[in-house]
């Protein structure tokens, strides 16, 4: 069935070539301007003006942009690679990047990106085996949103004690939690893939735990630090609404939840959906003392050039232009859900004027970006599955860590030929 | 070889558009995916590599495949009787002289013309903790429930939605079958003093057998392929309790890029579906002969 989709796609792509309808868009026209094919996920009216500026600054280059959807963008990219019709420049989520880089689909641009190195952050997210395969464009993280009114009604001062430590989070959530009245202390994620990880691991990271060792060769998941974090996460059950992210976000807008972990996408909808909501934003909670740091999950959008692109130089030029601070900010101001990878943006007037969004830029400095391991998604699945099993009390916290650890070890071993 | 005279070359010309699209968009991809199921194929890494029966051997040892198949079977076995009986009852009701019959027919048929994605989104909110269902329950003084968040209720909730969405479509097919039954048979039965239920049992049901077979087979095939509901509402969670085989093979193909294994999963599901369809044909045919 999948082969079916793939081949169907390649047939579809072949037909215009046969009939000559799009004969000129193939790009083998050395005389005229070069056309760079660029696939990305943002709204066309957000990215369009930036591309127009690029074309004005670079008269020899035209950009043919295609907007992908988050629902099936990856399928389209995969089909295009299989059919050898991949674009020149493409936006890839950092969680996908590892697979594409490890599988050898991307161009090594280590040398050409030297000059960009100091201007952008999170190159780790664009690297594989010490080589650079992409340009960090925009980054995203998670932080804590809290309802100030509910804090005050529970007798707490939201400005003096934001819920950015474990004890403060627990205290505030306990005082706010009144499920009979339809008010919940905290929003705990479950019931969907690729989300729980981003909410649970910040607790573990803030407690000094991790999934893999620093060299990426060993599992360190079954640790005391992670066990403490998991036990804390499980203990939040009695003061939480356990739901999917969209439901948690919605409940927060309806002022039914005191504290949630969410993404900067809320800045886009909060003003319209909940104009009266008085909320604060703080970093992800850390345990008290021991110089613990408020760590969060970090992800990003990486601009990659496919290996077979004949327009590598022009594509690289476009990538550098898009990632430039002012251009990335132009996107982020509208999209809200991400922040520029360009360094020093927290000092920009825009973030000075918007403290909530500034918290996200600051949180990014201590965010943990998952390693670009080709099996990373499977490892993330292992962590999510076992943490969720512990949440539904199918296994103990100890057992969950042990089992997830074994799965991760097996994934690491499977790699050694 | 040439076309037999009585059909002539023009027949082929008229059939060509269909034959071509069928060949290109159905036959060729099917054959291709069958071949891919014997390979290790990650398009990013390169062309498929033949590995014989490895994918099928892996499938037999893969506990998640068995979980997905179990969920799929629960879905099929749970929804089909409800949908079929429900559709038959609706059809019988709509076949009578009801006031506002057109309105009822349209109302029951409505879910069929709405995209499954839309239905799933609506029901996702219907089942949500602050959704309509819990609101009704709380009006009745009953406790609410996180229907899609509980591994024990998530699949059942999706199944009920599916029954609701499918009943109208199959009711229309039953209705067509009902209207093809000659009225004389009922008149004759009435003369012989047959009661309402006995008429249904001895006339309606036997004469609806072929309609029933059609509905069962079509609905079984459709139900084995359940995907959109899962994709929109739960993504297989919580705890894989709603992970169906098609969702699992989608996950293997597009999250793990294991197109060979995903194709093997698809063919395994095809074998199961074919088996179930053959059982129906067998059972309902035997009844017909008796």
Give CA separation, A35 vs A52, A134, A188, A284, A316, in Å: 13, 20, 47, 43, 13
Sign of CA dihedral A149, A150, A154, A160: negative
Q: Which residues pair with A297 in a beta bridge?
A: A368
Q: What is the pLDDT of residues B149-162, one digit of tens each?
A: 888 999 999 999 99
Enumerate domains of chain B plus CATH numbers. 62-289 (1.10.3720.10)
Neighbours of A290 (CB within 10 A): 8
pLDDT at A201: 96
Burial pattern A364-383, b for ≥16 Cβ within 10 A else e, equals: bebbbbbbbbbbbbbbbbbb
Three-state DSSP state, A127 = strand
Q: What is the pTM of this model?
A: 0.83
Residue B6's pLDDT is 65
Non-local CB neighbours of B226 within 8 Å, separated by 6+ positions: B72, B75, B162, B244, B246, B247
Q: Which residues contact B97 (CB under 8 A, 6 or more apart)?
A: none
CB within 8 Å of A331: residues ≥ 6 apart = A42, A46, A47, A50, A138, A322, A338, A340
Instruction: Tell me the domain boundaries of chain A.
Output: 2-140+299-368, 143-297+372-415
DSSP-derived 3-state class of residue B196: helix
Average pLDDT for A400-407: 96
Burial A213-235 (b: 16+ CB within 10 A, else e): eeeeeebebbbebbbbbbebbbe
> Is pLDDT of A415 > 80?
no
pLDDT in tens, A118-148: 999 999 899 988 899 999 999 999 999 999 9
Closest by Cα among A60, A52, A8 to A29? A60
Q: What is the tens place of the pLDDT at every residue in B232-288?
A: 998 887 889 999 999 999 999 988 889 999 999 999 999 999 999 888 888 877 555
How buried is B176 (Cβ within 10 angstroms: 0-12 exposed, 13-18 middle, 19+ buried)? exposed
- Residues A213 and B88: their CA atoms lie apart, in Å, by 61
User: Phi first, then psi: what are they for A416, rounded to 5°?
Assistant: -75, 120
Q: What sign does the CA torsion over A195, A200, A206, A212 have?
A: negative
Q: Which residues of chain B make contact with A191, given a CB cutoff of 8 A?
A: 148-149, 154, 234, 237-238
Task: Count Cβ atoms below 10 Å from residue B66 Cβ, excluding itself.
Answer: 13
What are the Cα distances from residue B248, in Å, to A87, A375, B120, B232, B263? Answer: 28, 17, 18, 14, 11
pLDDT of residue A10: 46
Q: Residue B1: its pLDDT value, please?
A: 46
Inform me whether the pLDDT recorded for A6 exceeds 60: no
Q: Does B262 sit within 8 Å of A243, measured CB to CB?
A: no
The backbone torsions φ and ψ at residue A136, rounded to the nearest 5 degrees and listed phi first, read -65, 130
B236 and A100: CB-CB below 8 Å? no
* Cα–Cα distance for residue pair A78/A73, rounded to 1 Å: 9
Structure ipTM over 0.90, yes or no: no
Give the three-state DSSP class for A301. strand
**Percent of chain A with pLDDT strictly greater than 90:** 71
Cβ pair A2:B253 closer than 8 A: yes
In contact, A373 and A103? CB cutoff 8 Å: no
Yes or no, beta carbons of B239 and A4 under 8 Å apart: no
Write down the pLDDT at residue B107.
87
**A392·B129 Cβ contact <8 A:** no
Residues of chain A with C-beta less than 8 angstroms from the C-beta of B256:
377-378
Question: Which candidate from B238, B256, B257 shows the least CB-CB separation from A191?
Answer: B238
Using CA atoms, how far residue B221 sits from B89, B225, B261, B274, in Å, is 22, 7, 21, 8
Distance from CA of B105 to the nearest CA of A (A): 34
Same fold, A2-140+299-368 and A143-297+372-415: yes
Measure the CA–CA gap between A47 and A40, rounded to whole angstroms: 9
Smallest CA–CA separation between A118 and chain B, in Å? 31
Tell me the fold of A2-140+299-368.
Answer: D-Maltodextrin-Binding Protein; domain 2 (3.40.190)
Does A267 score more than 80 pLDDT? yes
How many angstroms separate the CA of residue A190 from the nearest CA in chain B?
7
The architecture that CATH gives domain A143-297+372-415 is 3-Layer(aba) Sandwich (3.40)
Q: Tell me which chain A residues have a C-beta less than 8 angstroms from the C-beta of B37.
A: 3
- pLDDT, averaged across chain B: 88
Q: Is the pLDDT of residue A56 over 60?
A: yes
pLDDT the model gives residue B93: 87
Q: What is the 3-state secondary structure (H, E, C) of B198-221?
A: HHHHHHHHHHCHHHHHHHHHHHHH
Cβ B30–A4 below 8 Å, yes or no? yes
pLDDT at A68: 94
């Amino acid at each position: 069935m999948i082969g079916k989709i793939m081949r169907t796609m390649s047939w579809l792509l072949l037909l215009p070539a046969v009939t000559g309808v799009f004969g000129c868009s193939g790009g083998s026209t050395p005389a005229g301007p070069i056309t760079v094919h660029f696939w990305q996920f943002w709204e066309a009216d957000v990215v369009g003006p930036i591309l127009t500026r690029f074309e004005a600054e670079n008269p020899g280059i035209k950009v043919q942009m295609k907007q992908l959807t988050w629902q099936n963008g990856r399928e389209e990219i995969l089909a295009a690679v299989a059919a050898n019709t991949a674009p020149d420049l493409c936006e890839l989520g950092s969680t996908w990047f590892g697979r594409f880089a490890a599988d050898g689909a991307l161009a090594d641009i280590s040398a050409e990106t030297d000059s960009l190195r100091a201007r952008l952050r999170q190159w780790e997210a664009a690297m594989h085996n010490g080589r650079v395969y992409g340009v960090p464009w925009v980054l995203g993280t998670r932080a804590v949103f809290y309802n100030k009114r509910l804090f005050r009604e529970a007798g707490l001062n939201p400005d003096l004690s934001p819920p950015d430590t474990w004890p403060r989070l627990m205290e505030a959530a306990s005082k706010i939690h009144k499920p009979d009245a339809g008010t919940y202390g905290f929003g705990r994620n479950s019931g969907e893939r690729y989300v729980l990880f981003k909410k649970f691991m910040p607790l573990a990271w803030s407690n000094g735990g991790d999934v893999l060792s620093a060299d990426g060769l060993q599992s360190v998941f079954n640790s005391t630090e992670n066990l403490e974090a998991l036990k804390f996460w499980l203990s939040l059950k009695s003061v939480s609404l356990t739901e999917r992210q969209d439901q948690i976000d919605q409940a927060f807008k309806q002022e039914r939840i005191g504290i949630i972990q969410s993404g900067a996408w809320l800045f886009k909808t909060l003003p319209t959906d909940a104009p009266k909501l008085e909320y604060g934003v703080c970093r992800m909670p850390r345990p008290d003392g021991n110089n613990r740091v408020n760590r969060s999950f970090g992800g990003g959008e990486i601009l990659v050039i496919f290996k077979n692109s004949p327009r590598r130089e022009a594509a690289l030029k476009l990538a550098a232009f898009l990632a430039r601070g002012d251009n990335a900010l132009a996107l982020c101001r509208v999209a809200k859900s991400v922040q520029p990878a360009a360094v020093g943006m927290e000092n920009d007037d825009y973030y000075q004027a918007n403290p909530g969004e500034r918290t996200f830029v600051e949180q990014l400095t201590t965010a943990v970006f998952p390693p670009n391991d080709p099996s990373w998604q499977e490892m993330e699945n292992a962590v999510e599955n076992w943490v969720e099993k512990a949440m539904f009390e199918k296994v103990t916290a100890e057992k969950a860590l042990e089992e997830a650890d074994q799965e991760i070890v097996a994934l690491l071993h499977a790699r050694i030929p | 070889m040439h076309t037999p005279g009585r059909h002539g070359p023009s027949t082929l010309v008229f059939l060509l558009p269909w034959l071509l699209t069928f060949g290109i968009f159905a036959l060729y991809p099917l054959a291709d995916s069958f071949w891919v199921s014997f390979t290790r194929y990650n398009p990013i890494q390169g062309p498929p590599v033949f590995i014989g029966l490895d994918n099928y051997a892996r499938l037999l040892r893969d506990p998640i495949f068995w979980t997905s198949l179990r969920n799929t079977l629960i879905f099929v076995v749970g929804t089909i009787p409800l949908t079929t009986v429900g559709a038959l009852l609706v059809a019988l009701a709509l076949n009578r002289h009801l006031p506002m019959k057109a309105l009822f027919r349209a109302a029951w048929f409505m879910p069929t013309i709405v995209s499954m994605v839309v239905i799933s989104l609506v029901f996702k909110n219907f089942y949500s903790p602050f959704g309509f269902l819990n609101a009704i329950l709380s009006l009745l003084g009953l406790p609410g429930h996180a229907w899609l968040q509980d591994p024990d209720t998530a699949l059942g909730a999706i199944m009920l939605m599916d029954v609701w969405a499918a009943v109208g479509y199959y009711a229309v097919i039953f209705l067509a079958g009902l209207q093809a039954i000659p009225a004389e048979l009922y008149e004759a039965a009435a003369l012989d003093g047959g009661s309402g239920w006995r008429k249904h049992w001895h006339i309606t049901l036997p004469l609806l057998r072929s309609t029933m077979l059609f509905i069962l087979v079509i609905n079984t095939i459709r139900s084995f392929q359940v995907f959109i509901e899962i994709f929109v509402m739960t993504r297989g969670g919580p705890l894989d309790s709603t992970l169906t085989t098609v969702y699992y093979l989608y996950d293997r193909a597009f999250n793990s890029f294991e197109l060979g294994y995903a194709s093997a999963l698809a063919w395994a599901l095809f074998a199961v579906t074919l088996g179930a369809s053959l059982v129906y044909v067998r059972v309902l045919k035997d009844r017909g002969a008796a």
